[in-house]
Amino acid sequence: MMSISKATVPRILYDVSVLGADLKDQRGRTGVYRVVDEIARYLAKQSSIDLNWSAFGNPDHLFDIVELLKQDSKIQRPLVAYLNLRRITDTLSAPIDYLEKTHLYPLVRPVLPWVKQLREKATFNRHLLQDFDLVHSPFHSLPEIDKRRPYPVRVLTVYDLSPIKFPQFYDARNAQRTASTLNSLTSEDWVLCISESTRNDLLQFRPDLKPEQTRVTPLAAADHFRAVDDRECIRKTKERLGIPQDASYFLSVCTLEPRKNLGHLLSVFRQVRSEFDAETYLVLVGAKGWKIDNLINELAASTAEKVIVTGYVADEDLAPIYSGAVAFVYPSLFEGFGLPTLEAMQCGTPVITSNNSSLPEVVGDAGILVPADSVDDLANAMIRVYRNPDFRSQLIRAGHERAKRFSWDRCGQLTLETYLNALEARG
């Protein structure tokens, strides 16, 4: 194993594949993107490590990543050409082998030497890892190592185990991909979990992992999530999203998928709508996910029932739309962290959410926690926030204070601390 000299600055390889994969489509900039981006920016400022970028997780957008790093002076570091060449060559081999036998062979002949070269490198490329002291994958499976050579400490970030705990909410590929990622861990590896809830789930699923090498690095809301007092800004944002100017509204922000329990929220809103004034809406913000045919049908039948579905909303519009809401309602069945609840609190929006998984860790006593399947508790919470301005103000103040406990600097510090602890333990 590699011995790290205390006199040298450790060389770190950090995978930024997620940034490239989502660069051209901002709808992909959900929680994982935010984590990888924020931690990349934090690490890039640290002089105690020699940081290098990599794309071993997903090489498909390597050139997009290169362009991103060129444009963004805040995250300038060397890009190491450690690619998952086996994946590339496996993808290319089948169609090229087929085309060689057809009349299209002349078209593919020019690229055959390049593909052959990649195939040869695919069995060698992982040896580049020996140049680093530590490699961190913040999403994808850890890269394979060759233990016949010096090899780095490996660190993986785990967000949640929902595809394994609730496979009915996903297609089989989701559960398989999550299991594959977790199975890339060995008992030597270190793990960063975004909540105690995720850490507990992981140690139950993989009891062979060492608890002392499994750390919690709580997330944070980005700085641009701040209370917006500018009524004109809120007015323009409502206009862009098709929300009537005189409307008050309850808000939920998430990818539209079964785990978010939106069918339950829609049903409860229908039942309590008479408790609000005529111009009170339910606004659902987020891109379409998977297994939502039933929800789409319900929403289609709700066009006259004061329900607005905006689709994906860009970051710059989220703070105004949070700030203008009566309350943020998030009755999720399971979360690895629940970042939207923190964003809402930081924007000065009262939070009503479920009392399961990681959500109590994030919201604490600064919001209203209800059972995810309870109609009465959710209905009463929405009515109470709507009717009681003093109580709503109390939740806003408590949410602001709660949000101050979370910061990306703290998340970055804990990440860096784990690196240094892992390297020290390696010796």
Asked if the model's pLDDT at residue 7 lies above 70, the reply is no
> Which is more confident, 77 or 13?
13
Q: Compute the radius of gyration of the chain from its Cα atoms.
A: 24
Predicted confidence band of residue 74 (pLDDT cuts 50, 70, 90) = low
With vertex at residue 243, the alpha carbon angle to CA 241 and CA 247, rounded to the nearest 5 degrees, is 155
- Complete DSSP assignment for 43-97: HHT-TTSEEEEEE-S-GGGHHHHHHHHHH-GGG--PEEEEE-HHHHHHHHHHHHH
- Complete DSSP assignment for 383-410: HHHHH-HHHHHHHHHHHHHHHTT--HHH
Greatest mean pLDDT range, 37-46, 139-148, 296-305? 37-46
Nearest to 139 by CA among 66, 33, 51: 33
- The domains found in the chain, sorted by start residue, are 11-220+408-426 (3.40.50), 231-403 (3.40.50.2000)
Predicted confidence band of residue 122 (pLDDT cuts 50, 70, 90) = very low
CA distance 284 to 272: 17
Predicted confidence band of residue 260 (pLDDT cuts 50, 70, 90) = very high
Could you tell me what percent of the chain has a pLDDT over 70? 78
Q: Residue 219 has what pLDDT?
A: 97
Ramachandran class of 261: left when φ > 0, alpha when ψ lies in -120 to 50, beta otherwise: left
Which stretches does DSSP call E strand in 160-264? 190-193, 214-216, 248-253
Q: Residue 360 has what pLDDT?
A: 98
Question: Average pLDDT of 370-386?
Answer: 98
> Which is more confident, 70 or 362?
362
Inter-residue contact 411 to 219 (CB < 8 Å): yes
Query: What is the reported pTM?
Result: 0.84
Question: Average pLDDT of 191-219?
Answer: 97
